A and B are shown apart, each in its own frame.
Chain A
C-alpha cells in the first residue's frame, strides 16, 4: 500500500512567511509606472483643479498585461449547452478581445485594470512627470494659508472651549443678587471654600449655574479683503486642443491654482472657455473638446472682465487671470484683443498668457506672442510651452514676476 504523511497546519508559519510580499510590491510598482506612462491622458481627462485631495480616481491601465502570442478575438469556440442548443442561438456577448464566454482570465482584453489612486498620489506623479524640484513640490502640496479668526461679541450657545468663564460667573452672581441672595464672602485663603458657594440661608442647598448663565465667545473667521483671490482660467477650446495640449494647459492651471492657494485663504476658480464666443463653464466642460471654428480671443477677455465686474471687485479680490491657447486668432480681432488684455492687466494682480505649441509648431503657425509683446504692463507675463518639460521652468518664470510684484 502506498505511504502517506500528514503535516498539520501551524498558523504561525503563514504569518511569518508572507512569501508574496516582494512580488506584490513589484507589481504595485509596475502599476504606478503604468499610471505614469499615461499621466498625460489621465490628467487631461480628470478634473483635478480645486478638488479634494482625498478624491479617489479610477484609472484604467493597460501597462501591466503579460503579453504572449495568442489568437485574436475573431475566433469562435466550443461549449456545452443545456440540451437544446440550436444554430443561430446567441450564447454570449463578444467582449473586447474576449472570445469565449465564461472563460475569462486567459484572453486578451480581460486583463484590464482599473486602479484607485487618490488625487494626492496623482498630483505626486504629475509633479514627478513635470520634474518639479522637491522643495517646490512640498510648498505646493502643503497648502498653509494663514487663516485667522477674531472674536466678535458673545452668544448664548457654543462649544465648551469657547465658554467665557468670567461672564458666565458674573451672570450667575447677578442672578443671585436679583433673588436677594447674598454672594458668600470671599474666603481669606482662596484655597479654602473651594467648591460651590453655599449660602447659610439655603442650608446645604446649592445655587447652581443654569443654562442662561453660560456665555460663549463668538468667533468669526476674519475675511480680510486681501485674503481673497480668484483664479480666472481662460482657454481656447477650439477643436485643435488635443489631449496633450489639454494636459499641458491643465497642468499649468493646476500649478497656478495650487500656488495661489498657498497665499490666500479663500480661492475661487472661474473657467472661461472661448472659441469665437465665450462662456463661463465648469472644469469638466472646460476641458472637453470644443467645437471647431474661428477663434476670437477678445471674447474670452471680455467675458473675464464681465465676471470681474459682476463678482470680483478688484478692491476685495486678488485676481489672477491666465489664458492658454495655441495661438490662433482672427486677424481682425487682434486690436480688440490687445485692448481687452490691457484692461485685464489693470484689473488683475497678474495676467498671464501661455501659448501651447507642441513639437516646435510655433515656427510655422501663427502666434499671439508677438502681438502681446506690445502690451506694456508690468504685471503681464507670457510663456511658451512646447513640451511638458517647459511647464515647470515657465511656471517658475511666471512666479518670479509675481514675487517681484508683491515684494
Chain B
C-alpha cells in the first residue's frame, strides 16, 4: 500500500513550489492527477492526452507497453507530463512517497521548459492543448460515425497520414512562405540577380523558378497535400490537417528530448537537495536519482547526457547562463555548443558502424576523432533521425505526378519502409509518386504507381 496520503503530497508540493519560486523557475499553473498503473498505460498510449482521436496504432502501442510491463521487461515512467496550460501531470499511485516527491519536482522542471523554450512557444499554444486535442478527437469520431465515410475510409487516410507525418520541417520558428511569396522570391533569381552576392556565394542548388510548382521545394508534405491536392474531400483534408497539427505539437518534444529531460533532472536534483528530507527518503531519493541519470552503455540516455551538460554550463558560465540556453536552443544546437571534447571523453562517447552482423566501434572521442563522433551524435538526435524529404514538383511530367527529393546526408533510406511509405503517399496523391535518393552511393529513383513499386538507377 502507498506510504503517503494526498495531503502529504500536497504539503511536499508546497515546499517544492517555494523552491521553484526561489530558484526562479517560470511555470504554468500545475495540475496533478493521481492514477493507477492501468490508467497510466491508457494515458501513455495516447501521449498523456485526456482526449485523443481513435486509431488502431494506439491500441497496438497499448498492447506493446502492457506486454513489456506485465513481463517486467520495462517499468512505467514515474511521471507523464504534457505541455499544456495549466500543465497536466499524472502521478502513479503505486509509487512510493520518495518517488512522488522526486516526480513532482521533476514535473516543475518540464513545466518551466514548456513555458519558455522557443521550440514550444513558437509551435504550440499551451492554453489550447487540451481543447484542440478534444476538438480533433470529436472531428475524427464524427467522420467515423458518418455513414457516408465510416471506419475503413478514415483509417485509410489516417494510416497514410501517420506514415508521412514526420515529413515536416522541424523548425516551427522559421516562417513558411506562401506560394505567392515564393514566386516573389523566385523572380530575381531568374534574372540572375543575387542581392546577397557580396555577403556569400549562393549555394549550388537549382534556382527557384516560377515555372515549376511549388516554386521552392516543400518540406511539409501533409500540409502541402491539404492545401494543394486537387481532388481530396473536405473530411480528407481535415484528417491531414489533424495529423499535421498533432505532429507539429509533438515535434518540440522530439527536438529537445536531451535538454528537456536534462533540465527537469537538473531541477529535481537541485530542489530535493535543498529540501530537508527525512533520512530514509533522502537515501531512496539518491538511489532513484542515480537510476534516472545513469549512462546506458551502448546508447545515449538523454536524462544522463542532458543532466551532465546543464551542470557543465552552470559550472563554467555560472547559473545565470542556463536560463538563456533553455530558452534559445534545441538538442542539435545544445550539443553543438556545449558538448566539448573533454565532456565526451568523460562520458566515453564513441561511434560505431555495422560490420558483418556485429556493431563495431570505429571512433572514440580522442583528439583526432571527437569531432566526428560529435557530428554523428548530432545527426541522430531529435528530428535529425527523420530523413529530410521535400516535394520539388507537384506536376511532374505534366501529369500531376509527385516528385520528391531525399536530401541524402550519407545515410541510406530503408528501402522496404520507403516502398510501403510511398504506397501510402500514392494512396493519398492518387497519381504516380517518385522519390529521388541514393542507394549505396548511386542516385536512385523510387516510384510507386498503379503497377506497384519500382526502383531504378538514375542515369
Contact = CB atoms under 8 A, between A and B. Distances in A.
Task: Decide if A and B are genuine partners.
Answer: yes
Interface of A: 1-9, 11, 13-14, 18-20, 22-30, 64-94, 97, 99-103, 108
B348 interface: yes
11 contacts: A7-B34, A14-B42, A20-B41, A27-B57, A76-B353, A76-B354, A81-B298, A91-B350, A92-B298, A92-B358, A97-B414
A103 B301 CA distance: 10
A64 B56 CA distance: 10
B417 A108 contact: yes
Contact of B350 (A6, A25, A72, A81): A81
Interface stretch (B5-13, B199-207, B284-292, B447-455): B5-13
Interface centre among B60, B151, B373, B377 (most CB of A within 10 A): B60
Nearest to B7: A6
B354 A94 contact: yes
Interface stretch (B25-33, B263-271, B324-332): B25-33
Contact of A20 (B58, B386, B421): B58
B56 A27 contact: yes
A64 B300 contact: no
A86 B348 CA distance: 10
A38 to B, nearest CB: 16
Contact of B299 (A20, A79, A93): A79
Given A71-B411, A74-B412, A97-B414, 18 more contacts: A2-B27, A22-B54, A24-B63, A68-B417, A69-B167, A69-B387, A70-B413, A72-B415, A73-B414, A76-B359, A76-B362, A78-B377, A80-B298, A81-B349, A81-B364, A85-B364, A99-B354, A102-B296
A79 B357 contact: no
Nearest to B360: A90
Q: Which 3 residue pairs of A and B lie closest in terms of their CB atoms, listed nearest first? A: A23-B59, A27-B59, A26-B56
Contacts of B177: none
A6 B13 contact: yes
A7 B6 CA distance: 9
Contact of A72 (B21, B41, B414): B414
Contacts of B33: 6-7, 9
B38 interface: yes
B376 A80 contact: no
A70 B417 contact: yes
B370 to A, nearest CB: 11
B297 interface: yes
A23 B416 contact: no
B433 interface: no
Interface in B278-310: 295-301, 304-305
A345 to B, nearest CB: 47
Contacts of A94: 354, 356-359
Nearest to B299: A102
Interface string B345-369: 0011111111011111111100000
A69 B41 CA distance: 27
A91 B411 contact: no
Contacts of A92: 298, 352, 358-359
A18 B93 CA distance: 18
Interface of B: 6, 9-10, 13, 17-18, 20-21, 27-36, 38-39, 41-42, 45-46, 54-60, 62-63, 93, 108, 151, 155, 162-167, 295-301, 304-305, 347-354, 356-364, 373, 376-377, 380, 385-387, 389, 406, 411-418, 420-421, 424
Contact of A2 (B30, B39, B155, B380): B30
A68 B300 contact: no
Given A7-B33, A9-B34, A69 B354 contact: no
Given A4-B17, A84-B348, A69 B59 contact: no
A80 B59 contact: no
A91 B387 contact: no
A288 B254 CA distance: 49
A78 B59 contact: no
B38 A80 contact: no
Contacts of B62: 20, 23-24
Contacts of A6: 6, 9-10, 13, 32-34
Interface centre among A18, A29, A71, A83 (most CB of B within 10 A): A71
Nearest to B164: A68
B27 to A, nearest CB: 5
B39 A80 contact: no
B92 to A, nearest CB: 9
A82 B296 CA distance: 9
Contacts of A29: 56
A24 B58 CA distance: 7
A9 B358 contact: no
B387 A79 contact: no
Nearest to A90: B358
Contacts of A5: 30-32
A248 B59 CA distance: 35
B163 A101 contact: no
B73 to A, nearest CB: 10
B358 A93 contact: yes
A79 B60 contact: no
Nearest to B38: A14
Contacts of B6: 6, 8
A141 B54 CA distance: 36
A69 B386 contact: yes
B9 A78 contact: no
Contacts of B167: 69
Interface centre among A13, A26, A66, A91 (most CB of B within 10 A): A66
B261 to A, nearest CB: 15
Contacts of A11: 36
A2 B115 CA distance: 13
A80 B359 contact: no
A66 B299 contact: no
Contact of B352 (A26, A66, A70, A91): A91
A9 B389 contact: no
A94 to B, nearest CB: 5
Contacts of A18: 42
Nearest to B28: A2
Contacts of A25: 59
